[in-house]
Every structure is written in structure tokens, then in C-alpha cells.
């Protein structure tokens, strides 16, 4: 009997991929090297920009995403996790092309939020413009009493996207007090509008925004994905 092998389709961006790896290792509860899970990582930063593709301003990332899926499958991955929220806009064609299950990060995060905070009726979402325009979390919460609050167009452009993609942003120079301030300001604006918790809906955002930084809870999709990956790897061992 053996545990399942985790495949990580990473590189979007590399620091978020590192963060997922670290959190899987920390949450595994291992006492020896041999207690840890086997993890295969394809850190592929050459995948085209997901937001530009959703907006019709850039090439589709699907061919490159499929290439990484095939590489992970050949290497022995039993299932695949993708530490990029916006990439899940393309989830359906990716899962159809894969021979192994692909974990849906948005659904898992939404399920976690509902289970942990069942009384929440307004959730603030900080994410890329591509994720917002795709309505990924809005669809995940559709049919529930939860309202998803998003930043104004100005706050989205000058705070959230600037913090992630700007010249001093997380993707350019890594986490910094400057990018953290922009994200915290955007989150506090959502809280002032009634958000009872904040979803860090881009996997770069938890690099600067953690639970405890705000007067309401912060849900980190990377931590959710790490725990789901561990549970899947340890469930129903393959002969």
C-alpha cells in the first residue's frame, strides 16, 4: 500500500508555488523524512497570463497548462493541484484533458469558508481582475445566502492589481510592506461595506495578508489547498 503522489502545477507565480509546498510540509505532521508525502512540482512560469487571456487580450494558457499536466502525469502524480486561482477559469478543459483528478481550488475554498463560518452573510473577495470578471467565487457561492463583495473599479486597479502586478508588486519584487499596505487598505474598504471575512482570492495575496492582520478572519486558499492535498494523498491508498 502507498500514499498518493501529489502533483503541483506551479509557476503562477513561483512564490505562491513555494508557499504551497512549505504549507504541505508543515501541515503534514511528519516526525521523520519518511513520514512526509511525495510531491512532484512543475514550476512553469512560461504559462501565459491568465487575466489577459480571460479579457481577450492575450494567448490562452490552456496548451501550456495541459503540457504541465501531462508532465506531472508521466512523472507519476496521482492527482494535481494548481496554486493559482485565476487558472481555474480554464478548469473544465484541463480536467477533460487530464487522466488524473485535478482539485478545484475555488470550490474547495468556498466549501471551507461555508463550513468554518456558516453564519457569514457577506464575504469580501480580493483577487485578480480576471478572477473577478470570470465570477469564479460568485458562482461558487450562488444559491447560498452569502453575498460576495468586490472592490470598486478604482480600488481594484490602483490597490489590488497594483500590489500584485505593479513594478513594486508581489510578482515583481516579492512581498513587501508597500504591497501589504495596498492589500490591507483594499480589505478594510470591503470590511467597511459589511464584509464579515476576507477571501485572499489570488494566491499571491496570502504572501502579504494573513489571518490576524484584519479585524475579521482571512481565508487563505493556499492553506486550504495544502490541507486538501494532504487529505487526498492519505485517503484510499493505492495498491
Q: Could you list the active site residues?
A: 84, 202
Half-sphere exposure of 20 (CA within 13 A, CB side): 35
Phi–psi pair at 142, nearest 5 degrees: -60, 140
Alpha-helical regions (H) of the chain = 14-27, 50-54, 62-75, 91-97, 105-116, 129-134, 136-140, 153-155, 161-165, 170-173, 177-192, 221-234
Q: Cα–Cα distance between 163 and 180 in angstroms, integer? A: 8
DSSP 169: S
Q: Rg of the chain over CA atoms, in angstroms?
A: 17
Say if CB 7 and CB 73 are below 8 A apart.
yes
Closest of 218, 197, 216 to residue 207, by C-alpha: 218
Paired with 184 in beta bridges are none
Q: Is the peptide bond before 13 cis (omega within 30 degrees of 0)?
A: yes
* DSSP letter string, 113-131: HHHH-TT--EEEEE--HHH
Say if CB 186 and CB 219 are below 8 A apart.
no
Amino acid at each position: 500500500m502507498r500514499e498518493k503522489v501529489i502533483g503541483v502545477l506551479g509557476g503562477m507565480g513561483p512564490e505562491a508555488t513555494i508557499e504551497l509546498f512549505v504549507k504541505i510540509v508543515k501541515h503534514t505532521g511528519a516526525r521523520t523524512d519518511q513520514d512526509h508525502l511525495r510531491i512532484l512540482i512543475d514550476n512553469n512560469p512560461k504559462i501565459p497570463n491568465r487575466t489577459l487571456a480571460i479579457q481577450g487580450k492575450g494567448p490562452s494558457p490552456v496548451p501550456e497548462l495541459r503540457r504541465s499536466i501531462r508532465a506531472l502525469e508521466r512523472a507519476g502524480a496521482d492527482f494535481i493541484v494548481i496554486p493559482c486561482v485565476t487558472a481555474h477559469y480554464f478548469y473544465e478543459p484541463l480536467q477533460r484533458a487530464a487522466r488524473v483528478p485535478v482539485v478545484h481550488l475555488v470550490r474547495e475554498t468556498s466549501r471551507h469558508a461555508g463550513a468554518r463560518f456558516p453564519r457569514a452573510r457577506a464575504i469580501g473577495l480580493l483577487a485578480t481582475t480576471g478572477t473577478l470578471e470570470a465570477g469564479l467565487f460568485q458562482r461558487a457561492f450562488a444559491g447560498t445566502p452569502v453575498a460576495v463583495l468586490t472592490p470598486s473599479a478604482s480600488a481594484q486597479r490602483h490597490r489590488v492589481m497594483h500590489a500584485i502586478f505593479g513594478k513594486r508588486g508581489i510578482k515583481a519584487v516579492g512581498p513587501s510592506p508597500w504591497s501589504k499596505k495596498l492589500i490591507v487598505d483594499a480589505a478594510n474598504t470591503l470590511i467597511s461595506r459589511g464584509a464579515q471575512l476576507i477571501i485572499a482570492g489570488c494566491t499571491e495575496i496570502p504572501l502579504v495578508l494573513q489571518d490576524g492582520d484584519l479585524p475579521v478572519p482571512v481565508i487563505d486558499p493556499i492553506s486550504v489547498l495544502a490541507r486538501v492535498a494532504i487529505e487526498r494523498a492519505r485517503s484510499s491508498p493505492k495498491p
